[in-house]
Amino acid sequence: MNKSKNRFNRAAYGGKAWSPRTQNHRNELGNIWAKAGINSEWAPLKGVLLHKPGSEIFGITDPENYQMLDDLDYKLAIIQHDTVAKAYHELGVKVHYVDPNLKPPPNLMFCADLVFMTPEGAVLGRPASNVRAGEERWVARRLADIGIPILHTFTKQATFEGADALWIDPKTVLVGVGLRTNDEAISQISNILKSMTVEVIEVDLPVGTMHLMGILRFLDQKTALAWPYRLPWRAQRAMKERGIKIQYIPDEFEATENGALNFVTIGPKEILMAADNPITQEFLENIGVKCHTIRVNELHKAAGGIGCLTAVIERQFI
């Protein structure tokens, strides 16, 4: 029999042996795609993405040109970054590394800015500064290697950094508009999240604020810690409408100088935070928060802390 005359009976053309793809995208996570994604800021932490700094931070003599605050002790910064990774391992969190195959720019270690996770995959950041332009390529490469689907890459004049977006609950995301994330990005990310029936609440960030993450962190489903004179009114209203109690950081010096608010929530009422913040730590422990502390003071000189260093790529879904 001449098979070419019967090709429409062949599987390639939808014939009897054709096997249709029936699962939706979200159901393929953990099967075809890697299991990843988040829909809260406080559920048990499962996986993070880090970049261990290396030779790119050696010999920087003009920190201002790299958006850093002071000269770094190269060796100490690397040791402290290893301490961050070790803490995650000890807390049962899987650590992935960006691991670029070429020398990266010095700010690549601040992975939180470069990706925002959804329940269905990753939205790549598009950093606002020329100093950081293109860092998202390295993260995209690593996410692909891990098997995490990339849902969106910002286009046109949009700038977006992942540290400007926070999940209030599984159906609501706060996005801060300011120095790093602009109005065009709001339009694009709103369209992505709308397809997941998630509402975006846009909030304006005060002048002199880097990211929304530096103003607001979540401790559990009903408790957040915020910076009292910087928290946008609309963010406060959205949280109160959803029954979230807002605690305010007790010491502004510790927040400004020691990264007291720049922590990562490991699970409900459990955090990984910077050491040397006794006032804030005591305050948190008095409201039932378990605080794991590590020293990252050298990394603070690069204008970031534990939260900035950490791209959260998987939490337990709620």
The answer to whether 147 and 153 have CB atoms below 8 angstroms apart is no
Provide the sign of the torsion angle of the four alpha carbons 258, 105, 88, 219, taken in this order.
positive
Q: What are phi and psi of 39, to 5 degrees?
A: -140, 20
Residue in the structure block whose two tokens are 């770094």: 72
Helix ranges, 154-259 (H): 183-194, 233-241, 252-258
Q: Residue for token digits 């329940």?
A: 119
Give the model's pLDDT for residue 1: 47
Question: What gap in Å lies between CA 164 and CA 227, rounded to an integer?
Answer: 15
> Against a cut of 0.75, is the pTM above it?
yes
Spatial separation of the C-alpha atoms in residues 114 and 51, rounded to whole Å = 11
pLDDT tens, per residue, the chain with 318 residues: 455 567 888 999 999 999 999 999 989 999 999 989 999 999 999 999 999 999 999 988 899 999 999 999 999 999 999 999 999 999 999 999 999 999 999 999 999 999 999 999 999 999 999 999 999 999 999 999 999 999 999 999 999 999 999 999 999 999 999 999 999 999 999 999 999 999 999 999 999 999 999 999 999 999 999 999 999 999 999 999 999 999 999 999 999 999 999 999 999 999 999 999 999 999 999 999 999 999 999 999 999 999 999 999 999 999
DSSP of 255-290: HHHH-TT--EEEETTEEEEESS-HHHHHHHHHTT-E
**Domains, the chain, with CATH or none:** 31-315 (3.75.10.10)
Asked if 248 and 226 count as a contact pair (C-beta separation under 8 A), the reply is yes
3-state secondary structure 114-133: HEEEECCEEEECECCCHHHC
d(CA 15, CA 7): 8
User: How far apart (Å, rounded) are the C-alpha atoms in residues 51 and 100?
Assistant: 9
Q: Could you tell me which residues are beta bridge partners of residue 37?
A: 314
Q: Token pair for residue 100?
A: 């670029």
